[in-house]
């Protein structure tokens, strides 16, 4: 089995009001010096068998269409040990 983690974050130029709200809460709870918080999503995907190039390419395609909206979000894919 292979495990793939896809991280999705709003593009830097897109306002992230949820991140801003968390940023304010962190400050109120005493964490000093927080200059920015961006809230994103993480998908942990387990696939049977080995992760060959074809499946990785398929994962990239779906990460850029279903899992993220390229208009407002960036994604990154990494393979981790399950």
Partner 1 sequence: MTSGMRIGVVTFPGSLDDRDAARAVRIAGGEAVALWHADADLHGVDGVVLPGGFSYGDYLRCGAIARFAPVMTPLIDAAKGGLPILGICNGFQVLCESHLLPGALVRNDHLHFICRDQKLRIESNSTAWTSDFEVGQEIVIPLKNGEGGYVADDKTLDQLEGDGRVIARYLDINPNGSRRDIAGITNERGNVVGLMPHPEHAVEALTGPTTDGLGFFTSVLTSLVNR
CB of 76 to partner 1, least distance (A): 17
Residue at token pair 């000093």: 32
d(CA 28, CA 26): 5
- Indicate which single residue of 32, 54, 66, 80 sits in contact with partner 1 (rule: CB under 8 A): 66
Residue 18 interacts with partner 1 (CB under 8 A): yes or no: yes
CB of 40 to partner 1, least distance (A): 12
Integer CA distances (angstroms), 8 to 25, 29, 30, in order? 22, 26, 28
Q: 66 phi and psi, to 5 degrees?
A: -85, -55
Nearer to partner 1 (CB atom), residue 66 or residue 80 = 66
- Site for partner 1, rule CB under 8 A: 10, 13-15, 17-18, 21, 66-67, 69, 71-72
């Amino acid at each position: 089995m292979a495990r793939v983690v896809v991280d999705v974050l709003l593009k830097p130029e897109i306002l992230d009001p949820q991140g801003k709200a968390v940023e304010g809460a962190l400050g109120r709870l005493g964490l000093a010096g927080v200059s920015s918080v961006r809230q994103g999503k993480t998908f942990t995907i387990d696939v049977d068998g080995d992760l060959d190039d074809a499946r990785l390419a398929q994962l990239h395609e779906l990460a850029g269409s279903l899992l993220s909206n390229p208009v407002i979000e960036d994604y990154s894919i990494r393979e981790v040990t399950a």
